[in-house]
Amino acid sequence: MRSKNAATSSLVALAIASSAGSAYAAVPHRSERYLPSSNGRASIAFDTDPASSKIDLFLEHPYAYPSAGVSTRNFVYDTYPGIRVGTSAAWDNSLTPSLVEMLPGTGIIHVVRAFGGVQLDEYYFTPMGLAETASVMLTKVTRVTGSAAVDAFGIFNYHLGSAGDGSSWNLPGSDNETISYDAARDAFYESGPAGVAFGYAPIGAASTHHSTSSVFNTVNGGSDLTDNAGTGGPVSDAVPGFQASLSIPAVGNSAWVGWYAVEASDANAANAIDRTKTWINSRSAAQIFSDEQSGWSSWITPPPASASAVEATLAKQAQAEIRMAQVSESGTANGQILAAIAPGQWNISWVRDMAYATVALSKSGHFAEAKCALAFQMGATVGGYPTIQTAVGVPYQISVVRYFGNGTEESDSNANGPNIEFDGFGLFLWSLHEYVKASGDTATLTTWWPVVQSKIADVLVHLQESTGLIAADSSIWEVHWNGQQKHFAYTTITAANGLCAAADLATMMKATAQSATYLAAGQKARDAILTSFRAPDGTIGQATESLAAKTSWLDAAAIEAVNFGLIDPTRHTAAATLSSMKRGLVPPSGQGFMRNDDGAYYDSQEWVFVDFRATHAMGQMSDSQAPALFAWNVA
């Protein structure tokens, strides 16, 4: 994908680093500041920075841009629980955690703290079974020592004011916010110039106290919240909070407390609260947590039997990450898979990233989700850029770059014009083929086939030049247009793979003539890899133009020719390509691979995705270094 993070135990990290054999070997460590949770509607994130240590992201959509010129807003300034034991009180975010993690194989954030003789296990998540833009905040309070009374608190500092603050997540202001309390539902409703409303309410037992009056300072002072009915009108920076008195009679006993926040895009917070209460169905906070865990466990498919404990954990979490990256909103947004989960920078649906994720879903048995990703693209709106229409030359269905959240094609531009990438056509055909093979869903293929044939497979045939190469494009490197485009190896590699996939799909549809056409075009593209992209030593280079210029031609993406079965892993071309990668694309750490040799900072980092794809190819080539590289990345 587009970013990497790593986390592991120190023992595994040291074991891998020690076996690396490099003086510059880095020790695997957590490099990502935020832990995210998304149910495909809401996206929240926990800031692990000790100075923050709280939820400070709640996006109205999982994707960055609903449509052209419109940014997704972050409505939460911060939200977190608090604790009082006897007369001593603190907000949890002021307490240093002893553990911050994602519960393995889930989208549940887990934070452990201690205060005044109790242990606090906090859990934050966006419920997967709730079709709402909502988040849940739970705390399990366990008595470790003492017998003092215990109260828990929840504060909800959301901003629903006007405009945005110009930050990367477009936080609205805190002006003219109104909060009211609904006693019948034990809920606060908040509204403001942002045009939406939020509902906040406890899970399980009713709140002991509720207030919008100096909630933060009152708790810090060790006092009970002062019950009130809300702000009584628009105010600046309105903040509600709840208090719950807990029964924890003896050491070792625990009590659960929890709250939720739900957005009402139609500004009817009461209805949103009622829908959420229906989902809760009188369950306690402990039951909500247990059911969420069970839901994840039943969705995750088992890792390979040969997987080690660490590999199995990673395999489960990888499935969870893809699930959280898939949008579940109704309408044209549904099904798209984002290249990152917010606050990752690239929470946008790229065709390329989505193809690999879709294949992963199919291979792990998640057919419904894979089908949704394919259906999103089959129903997307494309063709709104005259320059791109001219470049493609025929009607097409798959975006040449990426999509806005609403399923409309987006192509980013700079001084060199738009990005126009042809590799997406082949990648989509590959992902569709993998889905149909794994699921046996030929009924859906039958429905989609007329468009797949005329606006995807036939487009690649149209774009193929007499040499077998696919026409020059921006491709994986997104070099834009206006003379910057090249005949990239990656585009022709994905086309060869996709056209062969299309030939098999056509055979399933009994479209004999089309099958022959696609197979011939695929074979021609495969042959062009060997005739047009090989350097003198046999290495597959980045582009014909780069090879001719004899500069910046080494490209890790070329290894996909091995992974897609287009070149023999036992022959010279595969060996030469891997050998050149080892000589020219290993970063200073001595571990893994960079993307290319153009010298750019972004491309010159080690890329986990490149490492894993290289490892897959190395395994086919019986390369002795494959196990160590795989273990390094798993760690």
Query: What are the tens digits of pLDDT across the range 139-192?
Result: 999 999 999 999 999 999 999 999 876 666 788 999 999 999 999 999 999 999
Residues with Cβ within 8 Å of 334's Cβ and at least 6 positions away in sequence, in order, are 327, 328, 372, 375, 376
Residue position matching structure tokens 């270094």 = 625
What pLDDT was estimated at residue 26? 62
**Residue 9: band (very low, low, confident or very high) from pLDDT cuts 50, 70, 90:** very low
Using CA atoms, how far residue 391 sits from 378, 385, 424, 472, 492, in Å, is: 21, 10, 14, 10, 16
Q: Which of 522, 551, 549, 553 shows the shortest CA–CA distance to 539?
A: 553
- Helices 367-378 and 442-452: crossing angle in degrees, nearest 10, is 20
| Token pair recorded at residue 157 | 């500092």
Q: What is the mean pLDDT of residues 335-339?
A: 98
Q: What is the mean pLDDT of residues 568-584?
A: 97
Residue 124 has pLDDT above 60, yes or no: yes
Residue 6 has pLDDT above 90, yes or no: no
What single-letter DSSP state applies at residue 456?
Answer: I
**Residue 29: band (very low, low, confident or very high) from pLDDT cuts 50, 70, 90:** confident
Residue 5 has pLDDT above 60, yes or no: no
Residue 21 has pLDDT above 60, yes or no: no
What pLDDT was estimated at residue 635? 86
Residue position matching structure tokens 């936080």 = 171
What pLDDT was estimated at residue 7? 33
Q: Which of 259, 286, 280 shows the shortest CA–CA distance to 201?
A: 259
Which strands, in side-by-side order, build the sheet including 349-350? 349-350, 402-403, 409-410
Residue 15 has pLDDT above 70, yes or no: no
Pairing of strands 76-85, 197-203: unpaired
Q: What is the mean pLDDT of residues 190-201?
A: 97
| pLDDT tens per residue, range 507-551 | 999 999 999 999 999 999 999 999 999 999 999 999 999 999 999
Residue position matching structure tokens 């020219």 = 584
What pLDDT was estimated at residue 27? 73
Minimum mean pLDDT range among 25-29, 144-148, 257-261: 25-29
What sign has the CA pseudo-torsion 612, 3, 358, 130? positive
Residue 380 has pLDDT above 80, yes or no: yes
Cis status, amide bond into 127, omega within 30 of 0 = no
Minimum mean pLDDT range among 393-402, 490-499, 582-591: 582-591
Q: In degrees to the nearest 10, what's the CA dihedral of 141, 145, 150, 155?
A: -50
Residue 11 has pLDDT above 60, yes or no: no
CA 490 to chain centre: 24
Q: Is 486 helix (H, G, I), strand (E, B) or coil?
A: strand
CA–CA dist 209, 186 (Å, integer): 10
What sign has the CA pseudo-torsion 204, 59, 296, 273? positive
Q: Which of 286, 222, 208, 244 shows the shortest CA–CA distance to 85?
A: 222
Q: What is the mean pLDDT of residues 362-377?
A: 98
Residue 17 has pLDDT above 70, yes or no: no
CA–CA dist 210, 225 (Å, integer): 6
| pLDDT tens per residue, range 413-455 | 999 999 999 999 999 999 999 999 999 999 999 999 999 999 9
What pLDDT was estimated at residue 3? 37
Q: What is the mean pLDDT of residues 548-562?
A: 96
What pLDDT was estimated at residue 402? 98
What pLDDT was estimated at residue 164? 72
What pLDDT was estimated at residue 32? 86
CA–CA dist 27, 13 (Å, integer): 6
**Residue 13: band (very low, low, confident or very high) from pLDDT cuts 50, 70, 90:** very low
| pLDDT tens per residue, range 39-95 | 999 999 999 999 999 999 999 999 999 999 999 999 999 999 999 999 999 999 999
